């Protein structure tokens, strides 16, 4: 018994000593925003003892008392070391350039280690709460190689996006958008509205991240749709943890982003120029006699004598200080088994131009449920409804921007008693030059579009084995678009028909069903050599129904504006359309110790839009990367923290050519002797197939000094072949238009992209972050049918030249001896002529596409304050003033239309050097005719975004149980400089760089508050 007691005593003593040498440490891991980090690794330094944080970020770890330090790490966060204490609160900072970061790619996610292609991620913080109606506008300047530009500043307007240049002549050149797995319908779905945007239905605040895929290794898995790049949108999803409520409220005002120095003349300037033109033309000898001609109602211009006392600034009349507000509320939470996310929001923008506004209401809900260790379900539903009013553009007389340029300053929009001015008793005649009073047009006419959109998705994921899982995902979209136009019977364009109305309706339904298996197999015992294979099947279908009708002769009241009130039906039209695609696809990655990665993809697509002989095609890519920083000779290097070399090559396609281009089709409505008839309207082509895009890409990603300096350098070569073009046929063939669509033609886009970033200063209370991106692209057409140029408006597509090189007469300036216009005889610029007939149309060497564009961003953080300033720049393109012939006419349209202030620099006497010919009433030798004279340099630098915010300290909010409160003031498009001094409109003029009298781009200043509970 004594031995047993003694042994028991020794055991208890030893146990006491052991337990005395360990301790429990508890804590919580959060991110820089105070949100819980689940799955963070907590390790006792110098040991193999560790644990991971739970869904609410908490952890408990038993460690020896000898351990003084813990190492905490997590995906997308910087590892940190903290001293051991009783109850720890650990904040992890996000990491930039880390190879452990997870990026959304096609059909899943990848660590940056495994990415062999060109993929750029835009995170929620870069797009949420921005004062834009659609997410595509927020992408301007955020991604190297992505050009985002708008020709119109109307609320809800469409945005042009091109990735790495223009890759097609007649087919679509916009990227493919994929929203939560669904191949999305984008672009302008309207039929009679000036501009609209399907993406304006998606609230940017509901977006978690955007991945921009640019090369073959990342886009060829999308096969027939990947030629112009892919933009993958992932909306916010449920996360496990304590329920979180977030609310944002923002309000502000809009004004014009750019006011040119070359603007319409005021009344005194216009009168001076008009008198000068009459004297130069011999109609008058001095100012007094010129005034007599101007006011003479019989033998003169018939302008009212009181014109000298009136000066109307029509820009002030048709523009205004708009306002906008947005409110967003979201709630998320759940446990490890079930998580949910729900949000609701509203956006309201009153445009800077009269008759323009946009309103949207949206809701979003998603849920994820883990039914078992093997089976997981998720579902999401996103819906919105919007209401948009947009005025006419281009040369329509009802266009308020046209009125601003063309209306003479001595006319007024109001009578002396304050009533709207019709200019005559019955309202038939406009104010002058055929232009109607824009205030009456805006008040009495209507151009309205309503859009309702529902996006939904369901997903099931089943783990067959530990290394094999199967995913099935169904996603769909439904668009309901209705438009109503009304031209009043009292004044303007509707007067002659006693009122005119039109209604249009479009319904679009598309769905994507993807089924694929994901198999991962380790190839060695250390599990650092493995391959990951995905293979599956995908089906896509889109159906479109469209209906429109018109009528005239409306009742004499503004209260009855719908077609039911029209006495005379004019026309009706309806049509259905659709397309389908079936696909088999696979993608594989082989990874060896995170040093060497080889990737490949293959897709076989069959599409209904192509000819019966070429319905199916194969697309593929191969890529490789070498993560040099994982090599022994660089591990632990104090200078180089990241060095990754990658290259890829592959082929993808473009099927955006129209649903029935390949088919021989008959159209009805070709009536004969009063009986319904039909006729061939498309000859078709059974051999029509995809435009092909072959891309070679090589790049290097680097990080220096623990990623204090990081960047990416890339070079690409994009060769497009089998371009869809219209080929002339013999007139005896009887084909509509004597032409047939064929795959013939080729072009190249070669370019360089640079992305740089760094943290010049990082202290305990202050940090400074800098980022910069640069894009340069060169386009060249290399093949056309019989090498014959293809006319495309102001462009003449020619082998060996840029696809958007302007084709027009070459302006040579003004003859200093007599003030007459001069042109070059041809594109060689060796001889000049004073005769328009002797000046040949020729390529100008000037392109609408920029040579360089990008952004430069600085972010400063001091304690709770943050200041971010982003500049966007665009250089090397030219912008065409499509209406310059009317507003710079050297006297041809003086007295009918107003002119620009540049006309005041016109030639006066022999020896004068100027670019504006002498002003002569009736015109000066056709000087106003279209030529390179009306091309302006499209260079500009714009303060795209500036934001100052303050986050209230958490110690202050803790008692109120509030996680965070941030107040901010933000401005977009605040300053524009570096522009051509003669450009009369905003230099941002869409992808074709054409000034077409669109609504001005707005400058917005807003203030807001973000609250997190």
Tokens 């009918």 label which residue? 896
Averaged pLDDT, 388-406: 94
**DSSP states along 79-146:** -EEEE--SEEEEEPPB-SS-TT-EEEETTEEEEGGG--S-EEEEEGGGTTT-S-SSHHHHTTTTSTTE
Averaged pLDDT, 524-546: 94
For 332, the 3-state DSSP assignment is: strand
Please say if the pLDDT value at position 425 is more than 60: no
* Contact (CB, 8 A) for 326 and 347: yes
Give the integer Cα–Cα distance in Å for 284 and 270. Answer: 17
From 624, 610, 620, 540, select the one nearest 580 (Cα to Cα).
540
* Contact (CB, 8 A) for 117 and 624: no
Number of H helices, E strands in the chain: 10, 53
For the chain, how many residues are written?
Answer: 1013
What backbone phi and psi angles, to 5 degrees, belong to 79? -65, 145
pLDDT tens digits along 309-319 = 889 999 999 99
Q: What's residue 11's pLDDT?
A: 39
Name the pairing type of β-strands 1002-1012 and 964-972: antiparallel
Give the integer Cα–Cα distance in Å for 41 and 52. Answer: 5
- Who contacts 729 (Cβ-Cβ below 8 Å, separation ≥6)? 683, 735, 738, 739, 740
- Who contacts 292 (Cβ-Cβ below 8 Å, separation ≥6)? 284, 300
Tokens 């009298």 label which residue? 997
Alpha carbons within 13 angstroms on the beta-carbon side of residue 854 total 18
pLDDT tens digits along 600-613 = 999 999 999 999 99
Quote the crossing angle between the two packed helices 287-295 and 267-281, to the nearest 10°: 100
Give the integer Cα–Cα distance in Å for 594 and 630. Answer: 7
pLDDT tens digits along 558-603 = 999 999 999 999 999 999 999 999 999 999 999 999 999 999 999 9
CB atoms under 10 Å from CB of 275, counted, come to 22
Please say if the pLDDT value at position 783 is more than 90: yes
pLDDT tens digits along 224-264 = 999 999 999 999 987 777 788 999 999 999 999 999 999 99
For residue 510, give the H/E element and its range. strand 500-522
Give the integer Cα–Cα distance in Å for 952 and 395. Answer: 52
* Contact (CB, 8 A) for 701 and 121: no
Output the 3-class SS for 971-1013.
EECCCEECCCCCCCCCCCCCCCCEECCCCCCEEEEEEEEEEEC
Residue 178 in tokens: 């994929």
- Who contacts 2 (Cβ-Cβ below 8 Å, separation ≥6)? none
For residue 929, give the H/E element and its range. none
Q: What's residue 321's pLDDT?
A: 96
* Contact (CB, 8 A) for 62 and 98: no
Cα–chain center distance at 104 = 19
Averaged pLDDT, 302-315: 87
Tokens 């093997």 label which residue? 374
From 537, 476, 546, select the one nearest 512 (Cα to Cα).
476
Residue 917 in tokens: 């010919």
Give the integer Cα–Cα distance in Å for 284 and 904. Answer: 19
pLDDT tens digits along 676-733 = 888 888 889 999 999 999 999 999 999 999 889 999 999 999 999 999 998 988 776 6
Q: What's residue 39's pLDDT?
A: 67
> What's the CA angle centered on 97, arms 643 and 693, to 5 degrees?
80
* Contact (CB, 8 A) for 90 and 32: no
CB atoms under 10 Å from CB of 211, counted, come to 21
Please say if the pLDDT value at position 63 is more than 90: no
> What's the CA angle centered on 204, arms 203 and 206, to 5 degrees?
75
Give the integer Cα–Cα distance in Å for 746 and 378. Answer: 44
> What's the CA angle centered on 626, arms 624 and 630, to 5 degrees?
150
* Contact (CB, 8 A) for 503 and 483: yes
Give the integer Cα–Cα distance in Å for 545 and 737. Answer: 27
Q: Which residues of 811-830 are buried (b: 16+ CB within 10 A; e: fewer)?
A: bbbbbeeebbbbbbbbeeee
Tokens 């429109």 label which residue? 548
298: exposed, middle or buried (C-beta count within 10 Å: 0-12, 13-18, 19+)? exposed
More confident residue, 34 or 121: 121
Averaged pLDDT, 430-439: 83
Please say if the pLDDT value at position 427 is more than 60: no
CB atoms under 10 Å from CB of 297, counted, come to 10
* Contact (CB, 8 A) for 805 and 847: yes
pLDDT tens digits along 141-152 = 999 999 999 999
Residue 824 in tokens: 């070059």
Averaged pLDDT, 466-476: 95
* Contact (CB, 8 A) for 1010 and 248: yes
From 487, 453, 300, 488, select the one nearest 382 (Cα to Cα).
453
- The mean pLDDT value of the chain amounts to 91
Q: Confidence class of residue 100 from pLDDT cuts 50, 70 and 90?
A: low
Residue 274 in tokens: 């008009």
Give the integer Cα–Cα distance in Å for 652 and 176. Answer: 12
> What's the CA angle centered on 226, arms 197 and 606, to 5 degrees?
105
pLDDT tens digits along 909-960 = 999 999 999 999 999 999 999 999 999 999 999 999 999 999 999 888 888 8
Give the integer Cα–Cα distance in Å for 5 and 8. Answer: 5
pTM, full prediction: 0.90
Give the integer Cα–Cα distance in Å for 562 and 553. Answer: 12
Q: What's residue 65's pLDDT?
A: 82
Least confident of 56-60, 319-323, 359-363, 748-752: 56-60
- The CA radius of gyration of the chain, in Å to the nearest whole number, is 33
Please say if the pLDDT value at position 12 is more than 50: no
């Amino acid at each position: 018994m004594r031995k047993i007691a003694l042994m028991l005593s020794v055991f208890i003593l030893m146990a006491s000593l052991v337990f005395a040498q360990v301790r429990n440490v508890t804590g919580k891991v959060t991110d820089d925003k105070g949100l819980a980090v689940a799955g963070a690794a907590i390790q006792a330094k110098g040991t193999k003892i560790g644990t991971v944080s739970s869904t609410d970020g908490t952890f408990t770890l038993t460690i020896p008392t000898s351990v003084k330090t813990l190492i905490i790490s997590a995906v997308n966060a910087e590892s940190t070391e903290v001293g051991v204490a009783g109850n720890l609160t650990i904040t992890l900072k996000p990491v930039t350039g880390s190879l452990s970061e997870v990026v959304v790619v096609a059909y899943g996610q990848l660590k940056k280690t495994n990415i062999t292609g060109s993929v750029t991620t835009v995170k929620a913080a870069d797009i949420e709460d921005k004062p834009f109606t659609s997410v595509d506008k927020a992408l301007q300047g955020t991604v190297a190689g992505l050009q985002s530009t708008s020709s119109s500043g109307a609320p809800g307007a469409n945005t042009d996006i091109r990735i790495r240049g223009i890759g097609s002549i007649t087919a679509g050149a916009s990227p493919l958008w994929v929203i939560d797995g669904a191949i999305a319908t984008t672009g302008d779905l309207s039929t009679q509205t000036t501009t609209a945007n399907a993406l304006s239905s998606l609230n940017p605040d509901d977006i978690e991240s955007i991945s921009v895929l640019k090369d073959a290794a990342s886009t060829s898995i999308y096969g027939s749709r990947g030629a112009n790049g892919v933009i993958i949108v992932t909306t916010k999803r449920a996360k496990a943890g304590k329920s979180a409520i977030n609310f944002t409220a923002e309000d502000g005002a809009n004004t014009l982003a750019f006011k040119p120095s070359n603007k319409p003349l005021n009344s005194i300037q216009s009168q001076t120029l008009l008198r000068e033109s009459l004297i130069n033309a011999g109609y008058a000898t001095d100012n007094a006699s010129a005034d007599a001609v101007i006011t003479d109602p019989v033998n003169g211009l018939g302008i009212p004598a009181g014109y000298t006392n009136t000066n109307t600034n029509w820009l002030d009349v048709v523009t205004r200080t708009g306002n906008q507000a947005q409110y967003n509320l979201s709630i998320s939470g759940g446990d490890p088994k079930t998580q949910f996310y729900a949000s609701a929001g509203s956006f309201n923008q009153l445009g800077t131009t009269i008759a323009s506004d946009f309103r949207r209401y949206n809701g979003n809900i998603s849920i994820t449920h883990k039914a078992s260790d093997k089976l997981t379900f998720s579902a999401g539903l996103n819906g919105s409804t919007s209401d948009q009013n947009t005025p006419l553009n281009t040369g329509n007389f009802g266009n308020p921007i046209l009125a601003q340029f063309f209306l003479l300053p001595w006319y007024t929009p109001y009578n002396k008693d304050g009533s709207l001015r019709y200019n005559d008793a019955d309202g038939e005649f406009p104010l002058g030059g055929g232009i109607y009073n824009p205030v009456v047009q805006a008040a009495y006419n209507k151009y309205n579009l309503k859009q309702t959109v529902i996006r939904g998705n369901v997903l099931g994921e089943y783990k067959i084995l530990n290394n094999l899982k199967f995913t099935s995902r169904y996603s769909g979209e439904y668009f309901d678009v209705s438009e109503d136009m009304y031209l009043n019977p009292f004044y303007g364009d509707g007067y002659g028909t006693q009122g005119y109305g039109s209604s249009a309706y479009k319904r679009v339904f598309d769905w994507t069903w993807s089924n694929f298996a994901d198999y991962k197999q380790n190839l060695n015992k250390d599990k650092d050599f493995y391959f990951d294979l995905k293979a599956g099947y995908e089906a896509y279908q889109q159906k479109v129904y469209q209906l429109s009708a018109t009528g005239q002769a409306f009742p004499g009241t503004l209260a009855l504006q719908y077609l039911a009130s029209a006495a005379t039906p004019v026309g009706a039209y309806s049509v259905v359309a659709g397309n389908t695609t079936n696909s088999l696809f696979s993608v594989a990655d082989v990874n060896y110790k995170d040093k060497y990665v080889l990737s490949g993809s293959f897709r076989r697509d069959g599409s209904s839009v192509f000819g019966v002989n070429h319905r199916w095609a194969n697309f593929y890519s191969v890529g490789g990367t070498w993560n040099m920083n994982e090599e022994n000779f660089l591990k632990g290097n104090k200078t180089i923290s990241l060095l990754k070399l990658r290259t890829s090559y592959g082929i993808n396609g473009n099927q955006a050519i129209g649903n029935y281009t390949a088919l021989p089709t008959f159209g009805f409505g070709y009536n004969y002797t009063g009986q319904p008839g039909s006729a061939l309207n498309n000859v078709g082509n059974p051999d029509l197939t995809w435009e092909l895009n072959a891309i070679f890409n090589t790049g290097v990603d680097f990080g220096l000094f623990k990623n204090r300096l990081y960047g990416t350098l890339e070079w690409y070569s994009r060769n497009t072949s089998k371009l869809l073009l219209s080929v002339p046929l013999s007139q005896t063939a009887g084909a509509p238009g004597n032409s047939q669509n064929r795959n013939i033609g080729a072009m190249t886009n070669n370019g360089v992209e640079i992305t740089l970033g760094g943290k010049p200063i990082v202290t305990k209370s202050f940090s400074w972050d800098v980022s910069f991106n640069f894009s340069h692209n060169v386009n060249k057409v290399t093949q056309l049918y019989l090498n014959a140029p293809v006319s495309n408006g102001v462009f003449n597509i020619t082998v060996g030249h840029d696809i958007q090189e302007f084709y027009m007469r070459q302006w040579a300036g003004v003859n200093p001896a007599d003030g007459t216009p001069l042109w070059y005889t041809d594109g060689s610029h060796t001889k000049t002529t004073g005769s328009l007939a002797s000046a040949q149309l020729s390529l100008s060497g000037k392109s609408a596409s920029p040579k360089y564009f990008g952004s430069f961003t600085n972010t400063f953080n001091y304690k709770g304050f943050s200041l971010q300033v982003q500049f966007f720049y665009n250089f090397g393109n030219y912008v065409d003033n499509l209406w310059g012939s009317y507003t710079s006419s050297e006297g041809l349209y003086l007295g009918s239309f107003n002119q620009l202030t540049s006309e005041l620099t016109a030639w006066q006497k022999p020896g004068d050097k100027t670019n504006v010919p002498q002003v002569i009433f009736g015109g000066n030798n056709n000087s106003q005719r279209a030529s390179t004279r009306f091309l302006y340099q499209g260079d500009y630098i714009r303060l795209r975004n500036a934001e100052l915010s303050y986050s209230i300290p958490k110690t202050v909010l803790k008692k109120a149980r509030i996680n965070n409160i941030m107040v901010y003031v933000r401005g977009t498009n605040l300053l524009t400089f570096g522009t051509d001094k003669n450009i009369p409109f905003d230099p941002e003029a869409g992808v074709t760089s054409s000034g077409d009298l669109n609504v001005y781009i707005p400058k917005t200043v807003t203030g807001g508050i973000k609250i997190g509970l």
